[in-house]
Amino acid sequence: MVKQIAIIGGGIVGATAAFYLSHLPGSEQTQVTLFDDGTGQATKAASGIISPWLSKRRNKRWYALAKAGAELYPKLVTEAQLGPDAYQQTGTIVTRKSAKDLEKLYQEALTKADHTPAMGHVTLLSSEAVQQRLPLLSNPPAGVFVSGGAKIDGANFVWNLLERAQQTNLKIISQTVSLTADGDIITEDGLQQFDQTIIATGAWMKKTLTPMGITMKIRPQKGQLIDLKLSQQLAPQSMPVLMPEGSSDIIPFNNGKLVIGATHENEGGFDLKATQVAAQQLLNNAKAFMAHLNSHQITGVRVGTRAYTDDFAPFFGRLPNRSNILVGGGLGSSGLTTGPIIGYLLAHSIFGQSTTDWQQYTKPVSQYIE
C-alpha cells in the first residue's frame, strides 16, 4: 500500500525533506505532495554562507545542529547532483576588529579543525593575503580562512532539490492550504487526508497550526539583501566569502554577481516591500571594504521573512499527541545551514529510519508551544 505524505512549505526544510523522501529506501512505496504558495519564503530570497564553526553563538544544541548541517552538505550535493549555481565550496574568511581577537579566533579555529574534518584547513591571512583571494576589495581586512566553508543560492538550491524529487514521487501544488482541527488539509479541491504530514511554513507556522488549537512561539523577522553587478576585471571565478565582524556578509558569485546582506528587521514582520534605507545601508557596509561600489551597480533587492523563536534556536520533531504530524522551524538567520539537516532527519523519521538522538540538536517541540 502506498503511503501518502504531505509537506506544507517548500523552503529549505520542506525541499530537503521532499528530496530525501524520494531518495531513501522506502520511497518506492511513497507518494509525496508538497503545498507551497511561495509568498515571502526566506529561502528563495536568500543567498548564504555555510560556515558555522566560528560563530559567536554559544548555544550548544544550535552548534551541534549547524555543525551536522554543514557536514551533510557535500553528501546532499552529491546525491542530488547539484551544480555550482546552487552550492559551491570556496571557503570563508572570518574577521575580527582587533588583532588580539583575530589571533584568539585563529587558535579556536585550529582547535576545532582538529576534530571537525568538514572545516578543511585553517589559515591566518594578512590583509594583503585576503586581497589576493578577494581582489575586488580595496580595503581588505586580515582574517581567518576556513577552506570547508561554502556559499549557496537559496532559490537555485531549492529548485534543484524539488526538480530531482519530482522525477521520482513528488507532486507540487502551488496554493495556500489550511488545516482542520484534526490536522487534515483543506485544499482548493476539498479536504485531503495523509498518513503523515510535515509542516515547514517558517514564520507562518503559528497561523498554520492555529486551527488545531496550537500556538507556536514564533515571530517573524524581515530580511533584505542586495544584488550587485561587478565589472569583469573585478570578477574572477570561485572567490571565497567574506564574513566581516559587525558588518554585512560579502558573497561573490561567478560571472560578476555580488550579494550583500542581510538585514535583521524585527519590526518588519511580514512586510515584503524592499526599502531604499536598507539597500543604502547594505551598500555602505560593503563600501567599507570596496570603495569603488556605487548604487548604479545594484541590480535588485530581495526580501524574505525569517522565523525566530524566543531562544533563537531551531526546533523540529513530532507534535505532542499528534504523532502523524511533524514540524521543523524557527531557523532564524542560520536557516540555510540548519534547514537541510532538519529536513533530512524528518524524512528519515517518516520512514522509521532515524537512530539519531534529536535531543542533542533541539529542545522538545512542546517547549515552543504556548
- Percent of the residues in the chain that have a pLDDT greater than 70, as a whole number: 98
Q: Which residues contact 320 (CB under 8 A, 6 or more apart)?
A: 364, 365, 366, 369
The angle formed by the CA atoms of residues 286, 54 and 140, to the nearest 5 degrees, is 30
Helix runs in the chain, H state only: 12-23, 60-80, 99-113, 127-133, 154-166, 205-209, 276-287, 335-350
SS3 of 359, please?
helix
- CA distance linking residue 172 with residue 33, whole number of Å: 6
- pLDDT bin (cut points 50, 70, 90) of residue 162 is very high
Per-residue cell: 174:
502551488
Asked if residue 77 has pLDDT above 80, the reply is yes
Residue 137 has pLDDT above 70, yes or no: yes
Mind listing the pLDDT tens digit for each residue in 7-41? 999 999 999 999 999 999 999 999 999 999 877 67
How do residues 97-133 score in pLDDT, each as one tens digit? 999 999 999 999 999 999 999 999 999 999 999 999 9
Band (pLDDT 50/70/90 cuts) for residue 165 is very high
Longest dimension (CA), the chain: 63
- Mean of the per-residue pLDDT values of the chain: 94
Cβ-contact 68, 53 below 8 angstroms: no
Beta bridge mates, 22: none
pLDDT over threshold 90, residue 309 = yes
* Model confidence, pTM: 0.96
Confidence band (pLDDT; 50, 70, 90) for 235? low
Q: Determine the average pLDDT of the residues in 289-312.
A: 95
Angle, CA 68 vertex, CA 65 and CA 74 arms, to 5°: 145
Per-residue b or e along 13-32, where b marks 16 or more CB atoms closer than 10 Å to that residue's CB: bbbbbbbbbbbbeebeebbb
Asked whether 308 and 221 are in contact (CB, 8 A), the reply is yes
pLDDT tens-place string over residues 78-89: 999 999 989 999
232: pLDDT strictly greater than 90: no
| Mean pLDDT computed over 124-144 | 96
pLDDT of residue 252: 94
What is the average pLDDT across 221-239? 85
pLDDT score recorded for residue 367: 97
- Domain residue spans in the chain? 3-44+155-218+311-368, 92-148+220-308
Question: Quick one: cell of 72?
Answer: 551533510
Please provide the CATH number assigned to the domain covering 92-148+220-308.
3.30.9.10
Residues paired with residue 222 on neighbouring β-strands, in sequence order:
265, 305
CA-only gyration radius of the chain, Å: 21
Closest CA to 183 of 152, 155, 209: 209
- Per-residue pLDDT, 40: 65
3-state secondary structure of 317: strand
* pLDDT attached to residue 233: 66
pLDDT of residue 129: 98
Mean pLDDT, range 315-339, rounded to an integer: 96
* 238 confidence band (pLDDT: 50, 70, 90): confident
Per-residue pLDDT at 38:
79
Q: Which amino acid is at 323?
A: S
CA distance 224 to 47: 11
Does the structure show a pLDDT above 80 at 262? Answer: yes
Architecture of 3-44+155-218+311-368 per CATH?
3-Layer(bba) Sandwich (3.50)
Are 3-44+155-218+311-368 and 92-148+220-308 in the same CATH fold?
no
Give 231 or 130, the one with higher predicted confidence. Answer: 130
**Whole-number Å distance between alpha carbons of 358 and 134:** 39
